[in-house]
Amino acid sequence: MIQPARSHVACAACALRKFCFSSVGTDTAPATHVPLVQRRRLRPGEKLFTKGTPLNSLYAVRAGFLKTCALMPNGDQRILGFHIMGDVLGLDAIASGTHPTEAVALNGCEVCEIPTDRAERLMNGRASIATHFRQLLSEQIAEAGDRIVALGAMSARQRVAGFLLDLAERWASRGYSPNEFDLCLTRKEIGSYLGLTFETVSRTLSFFDAQEWIAIDGRHVRIRNHEALRNALLEA
Amino acid sequence: MIQPARSHVACAACALRKFCFSSVGTDTAPATHVPLVQRRRLRPGEKLFTKGTPLNSLYAVRAGFLKTCALMPNGDQRILGFHIMGDVLGLDAIASGTHPTEAVALNGCEVCEIPTDRAERLMNGRASIATHFRQLLSEQIAEAGDRIVALGAMSARQRVAGFLLDLAERWASRGYSPNEFDLCLTRKEIGSYLGLTFETVSRTLSFFDAQEWIAIDGRHVRIRNHEALRNALLEA
DNA sequence: CGCTATCTTGAGTAGCGTCAAGTCATGTGG
DNA sequence: CCACATGACTTGACGCTACTCAAGATAGCG
């Protein structure tokens, strides 16, 4: 059931929160703060949307961990991104009206679903929401630029170091420990994301562990030396 | 000088044309079609905007060829994209209000400049323009996804073949020959874009030439066998 | 005419991919 | 309970692709 007060707290990090509490009112007549989005739970492995299906809703992650993948002609998949609490999914489908990628839950997830027609109406009514949404879209373009640079220019060690630091930072920005977290991912998935084979990912993680920069236990990571990882990220 | 009639023809391919001819009117009261954007000419090597400067305007390319670059901490640059007639520049700056990249003219260019405050006002007045603009942003996210896949998964031959086919298609979509065009780029710039060294780019182009799939003369390319290039793009 | 930047081509090398063997954890069926 | 299968992970050996270093050709320009 919908619980306005609790949501207001839990949604603090959400990029789409303006869409939740702005269903009534305009810029001149302030909104009544009533959340009107659908919640949806996902089991591990369940797909939020698949490639080729029409765009009906945008999604904001409330809890859990998801991946978005591009499906290659030969059948296998390349991972485009990982998404946690507060991230927004589906923006790449607005241009064509059809999802060019698929999103899969990697563990138990909860997402908020905002129908696109509702989102459009909100943006037409309140310019501030439309502006905010444009910023959201632009942010993803800028982030994609960073990833293009990383994939084109960096060695395996740099990519893995960058990946670990990026995850740490994202967890930290959501109030969790920047030193210890679970990769909810197989080595193969990390490799797909970084443009490396799973053996190279495994070797590189082992190397970082041997240097005592991190401590790995399966998919659990503890960062022991942020500085060393940052150096590894910068140097040739 | 502004020449409405001629502009109307020349702007057919432009993604921002709605912004040019919609300065008056709303969705209910149709616009008077009067272009109100600034033109700006660029000499080869001149910068349209630089990293770190505030976003004041968006730009649509009318003529010429530009590159956008990310500047690395060590000083050198990675090329994020090439832009021709009809392309829009500056969208990655909307999120932060500051350009995260720089744009440089590779030959004589002419661009249309739309001040962001004017663009905002237009979008507030006409929902159809706002929707169109969101599609433009989303398109760039989807395209960035394609490039991420390409850089992470493809060999040098695949990347160069894809680059040539992509350029051919873009020229063709603007009404030029898909078989013959000028790369207004050094081998080094192509390498920066594709995540390869300039020697590898040179060798790969020489190889394609030896196979008689293309004919190169400096920066002029003629494609002799599209099918072979498409095969090279697909196969391992 | 030389200076410089660009480009081509060659030879050697390193990093990452490929192939393969073996460990470990989990699950399944007899 | 054990035998067996499966999937994730690690580690080693080897090979290929693309990078590095280097020499020379070509072209634009003062």
**CB-based contact, B215 to chain A, within 8 Å:** no
**How far: B219 CA to D28 C1' (Å)?**
14
Does B193 score more than 50 pLDDT? yes
Does A83 score more than 60 pLDDT? yes
Q: Decide: pTM greater than 0.85.
A: yes
Residues B121 and B123: their CA atoms lie apart, in Å, by 5
pLDDT digits over A22-73, tens only? 555 455 555 555 556 889 999 999 999 999 999 999 999 999 999 999 998 7
CA dihedral A90, B26, B54, B148 (to 10 degrees): 20
Does A175 score more than 80 pLDDT? yes
Can A6-126 and A154-234 be said to share one CATH topology? Answer: no
Judging contacts by C-beta atoms under 8 Å, the chain B residues touching residue A141 are 91-92, 95, 137, 140-141, 144
Does B7 score more than 90 pLDDT? no
Residues A76 and A73: their CA atoms lie apart, in Å, by 8
Is the shortest CB-to-strand distance from A194 to strand C under 7 Å?
Answer: no
Q: In this predicted structure, what is the pLDDT of residue B57?
A: 96
Compute φ and ψ for B110, nearest 5 degrees. -130, 130
- Neighbour tally for A53: CB within 10 Å: 12
**CB-based contact, A92 to chain B, within 8 Å:** yes
Fold adopted by A6-126: Jelly Rolls (2.60.120)
Contact B95 A142 (CB under 8 A): yes
Is the shortest CB-to-strand distance from B197 to strand D under 7 Å?
Answer: yes
Residues B206 and B211: their CA atoms lie apart, in Å, by 9
Collapsing DSSP to helix, strand or coil, B24 comes out as: strand
**CB-based contact, B147 to chain A, within 8 Å:** yes
Encoded tokens for B195: 């995540």
Tell me the CATH class for A154-234.
Answer: mainly alpha
- The domain locations on chain B are 6-126, 154-234
Mean pLDDT, to the nearest integer, of A80-103?
Answer: 96
C-alpha atoms less than 13 angstroms from C-alpha of A159 in its C-beta half-sphere: 24
